[in-house]
């Protein structure tokens, strides 16, 4: 057995040991080089409270929400899920002000880079801002995996670059190849004033639902490999790209943490249920499923990165929101969607914390 394989086997054992540990304990003891967004206050430890002033925008007045997230339009009968606000234990998040955001980021370019969870967060932020300037001139362009919303009166441009793995998937004569050590699309990410990266959702897809046939790394090709190892390798390639290409004096870099799913009710001690029909968050102090292994991989990679990358550590607070998925109320997905999030909804809190980091 090669030394590389031995090290990865030990790494997997470490992940298995860690998975059941208390999320908050790990969060408190982890290496802080990844700069979890908490200075005088940990914004990621808190509880969901009912707030009748929510949501932060009217979904029927936002032109950016796509069918897969538009739960109210597609028949969701309840609305309490719209009314929950995240309240950190030891402080409060600053009030979101979209006009202030535009004025402070005048002339700047922001890009979300990742999969459909990045789309979720991108559409959330554009709706949150647009609600503050409903009469502002806006340009909305969609083409070939790149979407942009420009607030023309403020010269603020917000982009979405779709790439499910961050690393490349290329077509070869023998099939589609997931290249764990290659990022060709990175040139499109350069020149931004803020980058918000995300990847995890598609690494779990197998069989017909995966968009590749083989995996390549270091000149070697496999039919498949342990997906947690593949994820670690792919994220490490992304980290190298950040180290080589990002000037921290010009560009702020964020990584959207692991967004959980709620397909299996055993994760919150209700084994016969899923997200379908859920109308309230999980209100316990400790989420029964524990820490996802992918979260540990992200922490491991970010602890070694040389440039400042701020982790939007949304995993724990999102685990509580078993009620916030489209489920069957989506205009795109057939069946039960317990992966994505309704808009308005949970991604608004991710962006609220992003706002707090930028302006606190």
Write a three-state SS string for 156-179.
EEEEEEECCCCCEEEEECCEEEEE
Q: What is the pLDDT of residues 122-158, one digit of tens each?
A: 999 999 999 999 999 999 999 988 999 999 999 999 9
Contact predicate 180/221, CB 8 Å: no
Contacts of 32 (CB under 8 A, 6+ apart): none
Which residues are registered as beta bridge partners of 217?
220
Q: Is 337 a catalytic residue?
A: yes
Q: What is the pLDDT of residues 73-106, one digit of tens each?
A: 999 999 999 999 999 999 999 999 999 999 999 9
Please give the pLDDT value at position 5. 47
Query: What is the model's pTM?
Result: 0.91
CA atoms within 13 A on the CB side of 198: 28
The whole-angstrom separation of Cα 231 and Cα 227 is 6
Contact predicate 342/324, CB 8 Å: yes
Phi and psi angles of residue 45, each rounded to the nearest 5 degrees, phi first: -105, 120
DSSP 269-320: T-TT--STT--S---SSS-TT---HHHHHHHHHHHH-SS--EEE--HHHHHT
Domains (ranges, CATH) in the chain?
Answer: 62-359 (3.40.50)
Q: Is 90 a catalytic residue?
A: no
Give the pLDDT mean for 222-233.
96
Q: Report residue 61 as tokens.
A: 């007045």
DSSP reduced 3-state for 56? coil
Q: What is the pLDDT of residues 271-325, one digit of tens each?
A: 999 999 999 999 998 999 999 999 999 999 999 999 999 999 999 999 999 999 9
Active site residue: 201, 262, 325, 340, which one?
A: 340
The whole-angstrom separation of Cα 88 and Cα 352 is 12
Omega within 30 of 0 (cis) for the link into 248: no
Contact predicate 196/160, CB 8 Å: no
Q: What angle do CA 50, 56, 61 make, to 5 degrees?
A: 135
The whole-angstrom separation of Cα 188 and Cα 57 is 31
Using the structure block, give the residue that is written with the tokens 């420009």.
150
Q: What is the pLDDT of residues 103-129, one digit of tens each?
A: 999 999 999 999 999 999 999 999 999
Helix ranges (DSSP H) in the chain? 3-19, 23-29, 98-104, 116-130, 227-245, 293-304, 315-319, 346-359
Q: Is 116 a catalytic residue?
A: yes
The whole-angstrom separation of Cα 288 and Cα 272 is 15
Active site residue: 34, 115, 116, 148, which one?
A: 116
The whole-angstrom separation of Cα 63 and Cα 81 is 21
Active site residue: 337, 339, 348, 352, which one?
A: 337
Please give the pLDDT value at position 23. 46
Give the end-to-end CA distance of the chain in Å, rounded to a whole number: 50
Banded model confidence at residue 12, pLDDT cuts 50, 70, 90: low
The whole-angstrom separation of Cα 298 and Cα 34 is 9
């Amino acid at each position: 057995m090669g030394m590389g394989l031995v090290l990865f086997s030990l790494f997997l054992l470490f992940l298995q040991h860690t998975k059941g540990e208390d999320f908050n304990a790990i969060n408190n003891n982890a290496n802080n080089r990844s700069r979890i967004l908490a200075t005088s206050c940990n914004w990621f430890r808190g509880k969901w409270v009912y707030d009748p002033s929510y949501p932060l925008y009217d979904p029927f007045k936002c032109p950016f929400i796509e069918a897969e997230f538009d739960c109210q339009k597609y028949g969701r009968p309840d609305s309490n899920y719209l009314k929950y606000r995240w309240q950190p234990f030891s402080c409060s998040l600053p009030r979101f002000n979209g006009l202030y955001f535009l004025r402070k980021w005048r002339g700047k370019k922001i890009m979300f880079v990742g999969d459909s969870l990045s789309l979720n967060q991108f559409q959330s932020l554009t709706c949150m801002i647009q609600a503050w300037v409903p009469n502002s001139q806006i340009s909305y362009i969609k083409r070939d995996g790149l979407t942009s919303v420009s607030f023309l009166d403020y010269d603020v441009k917000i982009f979405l670059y779709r790439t499910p793995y961050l690393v490349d998937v290329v077509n070869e004569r023998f099939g589609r190849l997931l290249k764990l050590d290659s990022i060709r699309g990175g040139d499109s990410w350069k020149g931004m004033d803020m980058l918000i990266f995300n990847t995890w959702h598609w690494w779990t897809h197998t069989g017909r639902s995966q968009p590749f046939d083989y995996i390549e790394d270091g000149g070697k090709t496999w039919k498949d490999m342990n997906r947690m190892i593949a994820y670690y390798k792919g994220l490490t390639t992304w980290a190298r790209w950040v180290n080589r290409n990002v000037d921290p004096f010009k560009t702020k870099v964020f990584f959207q943490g692991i967004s959980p799913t709620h397909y299996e009710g055993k994760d919150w001690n209700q084994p016969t249920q899923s997200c379908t029909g859920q109308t309230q968050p999980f209100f316990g102090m400790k989420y029964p499923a524990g820490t996802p292994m992918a979260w540990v991989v992200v922490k491991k990679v970010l602890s070694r990165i040389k440039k400042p990358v701020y982790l939007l550590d949304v995993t724990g607070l999102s685990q509580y929101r078993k009620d916030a998925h489209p489920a069957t109320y989506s205009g795109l997905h057939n069946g039960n969607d317990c992966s994505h999030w309704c808009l308005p909804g949970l991604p608004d809190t991710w962006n609220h914390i992003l706002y707090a980091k930028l302006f606190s």
